[in-house]
Amino acid sequence: MGLPPLEQRTLLAAVERALDVGDAVTQTDRAGTWTLAEAFERSLRLGAGLGAGVDRPVALLLDNSLDAVHVWMGVVLTGGVEVPVNTAYKGAFLAHVLRDCGAETLVAEAHYLDRLARVADEVPALRTVVVRGDPGDVLPRGGFRVLQLDEIEVDAASPVRRGPDDLHAIMYTSGTTGLSKGVLVPHAHAYTYASREHQERPHAGDRALVTLPVFHLAGQWYGVYQALIHGIACVLEPGFSVSSYWNIVRTHGITVTTMLGAMAELLAQRPPADDDADNPLELAVMAPLASDVDTFRRRFGVDLAAVYGMSEIGAVLDGPPETVVGGEAGFPRDGYDLRLVDVEGRDVAPGEIGELLVRPQVPHTVMAGYHGRPDETARVVRDGWLHTGDAFRTDEAGRFFFCDRMKDALRRRGENISSFEVERTVNAHPAVYESAVVAVPSALTEDEIKIIVVLQDDAELDPAELTAFLVDRLPYFMVPRYVEVADALPKTPTHKVQKKLLRDAGVGPTTWDREAAGIRVTRNS
């Protein structure tokens, strides 16, 4: 059992192998079920209608649906490069991604067109907008060629056979010192990230559930693509719902899935029910693992497995269910060399914390670099080693345990967040002189966001009004929960903010909590 040769790690090769399995390979969403043969044909029709051309980027601003999956497959199978866009992005965040990738075509949900209209003047390369749903009169047709999705289904194109080093995608990941960077993902990188062919599951007869967004690697590649690689049925939901989760699992006969640790915590917080373990789910791969592995496993009758990865490196750690322990991120995966080093670049001993460095043993299985940013690429990849900026420790058995981020990025609800981007937006408020964003502990195993603000002379600030200001300018997952007003930020002699001191202060009696104030921020805010 293992991954195929490098030249066979492409989307087309994966589809061709899965087609040999037959009609057992299906894709299901709330609109219906497609066999893989039907999905393949439709993808080639959509790819032909988009007509992006070999190596040309196509941006996708799409919710979870098989339409989104077939568009993604269509772009890549006909030689193009997909650019999934986080559906929470708006304003400067949306404009940056569209401008930076240089896409001339965008496929978008109709209900996101108002966001595009606001930044239309900032994306000069964009020419065509293909709309899923009714475009209405939101976009000026004189500015873009506007088509509906069903208009572009033409005669199927022939698939374009690509190599493992050819680009599959540009995946944007939040940076810590600037705007989001586009990770150049070769076909072999995407395939290797998605595959669990070195593990026992998934196997023939499994049914996979995907509730994570398909604009993310975890939903698209570790969900839909993984099911395709393993030749199993895939059920795609619009998102994760605590109240309906187990009903969906039972209705569709789900046996395997991937979930965030926060999802597991939310499921565990539900009142126990007599039928909790009466479900077909057999394996949940988690990142990070639930805080109480044994209790979750017993209550729901589900085996748990660990995994760790990121856009730049793929999935380089995983832990099979038979050896998993609480808090682990897994063991090193074959095909990668891993090191933990201190700030001087020296390897650390087991039990000591160091930054994770990754070097692929097989070419094209990590990123090809950052799109248009050679200096950033050179900063991260040095002497063949990719510096992740994440801190780990190992135990004597060789398990890796995630400890912290060595950079100032945060993680909330599965989203990597740049403190720079949040701070820059907060600082645009007229009452704010400067600010600092830090992570504070969450009950859901991930971060909550706290913003410490220093006000302009004689200014006053209502935290609720600041929250409303940020809701209009930030993706919902970046809006801080906590606000603290300070006289000054602690700084080093070189004027760098000492964020460790701010993190250590945590949430205190003078910290304003928007949830305690009854203010909820959701995707639709």
Q: What does the pLDDT read at residue 32?
A: 97
pLDDT digits (tens, 9 = 90+) for 184-206: 999 999 999 999 999 999 999 99
Q: What does the pLDDT read at residue 404?
A: 67
What six digits make up the tokens of 486? 């300070």
Alpha helices (runs of H) in 254-338, residue ranges in sequence order: 261-268, 293-300
- Per-residue pLDDT band for 471 (boundaries 50, 70, 90) equals very high
Residue 175 scores a pLDDT above 60: no
Residue 176 scores a pLDDT above 50: no
pLDDT digits (tens, 9 = 90+) for 380-433: 999 999 999 988 899 999 999 987 667 665 767 667 677 777 888 898 899 998
Give the mean pLDDT of 270-287: 95
- Per-residue pLDDT band for 141 (boundaries 50, 70, 90) equals low
Any idea which of 47-51, 422-426, 444-448 has the lowest mean pLDDT?
A: 444-448
Residue 112 scores a pLDDT above 80: yes
What the chain holds in terms of domains, given with CATH numbers, is 32-162 (3.40.50.980), 190-405 (3.40.50.12780), 410-513 (3.30.300.30)
Return the number of other C-beta atoms located less than 10 Å from residue 193's C-beta: 24
Give the mean pLDDT of 111-130: 94
Q: What does the pLDDT read at residue 493?
A: 47
CA 294 to chain centroid, in Å, comes to: 27
Hey, what amino acid is at 449?
I
**Strand runs (DSSP E) across 116-194, as ranges?**
128-132, 145-148, 167-173, 181-186
- Per-residue pLDDT band for 63 (boundaries 50, 70, 90) equals very high
Q: What does the pLDDT read at residue 288?
A: 84
Residue 177 scores a pLDDT above 50: no
Q: What does the pLDDT read at residue 143?
A: 81
- Per-residue pLDDT band for 178 (boundaries 50, 70, 90) equals low
pLDDT digits (tens, 9 = 90+) for 73-108: 999 999 999 999 999 888 888 999 999 999 999 999
Task: Tell me the CA distances in angstroms from 387 to 239, 313, 332, 381, one per residue in order.
Answer: 32, 9, 16, 6
Most confident of 70-84, 317-331, 448-462: 70-84
Exposure on the CB side of residue 445, measured as CA atoms within 13 A: 24
Give the mean pLDDT of 338-342: 96
Residue 494 scores a pLDDT above 50: no
Return the number of other C-beta atoms located less than 10 Å from residue 244's C-beta: 11
Q: What does the pLDDT read at residue 421?
A: 76
CA nearest 152: which of 138, 136, 135, 132? 132
Please tell me the distance from the alpha carbon of residue 395 to that of residue 110, in angstroms, as a whole number: 50
Please tell me the distance from the alpha carbon of residue 112 to that of residue 192, in angstroms, as a whole number: 32
Give the mean pLDDT of 126-148: 86
Please tell me the distance from the alpha carbon of residue 127 to that of residue 217, in angstroms, as a whole number: 27
Please tell me the distance from the alpha carbon of residue 307 to that of residue 330, in angstroms, as a whole number: 6
pLDDT digits (tens, 9 = 90+) for 224-271: 999 999 999 999 999 999 999 999 999 999 999 999 888 888 898 889
382-416 as b/e: b if 16+ CB within 10 A: eeebbbbbbbbbbeeeebbbbbebbbbbbbbebbb
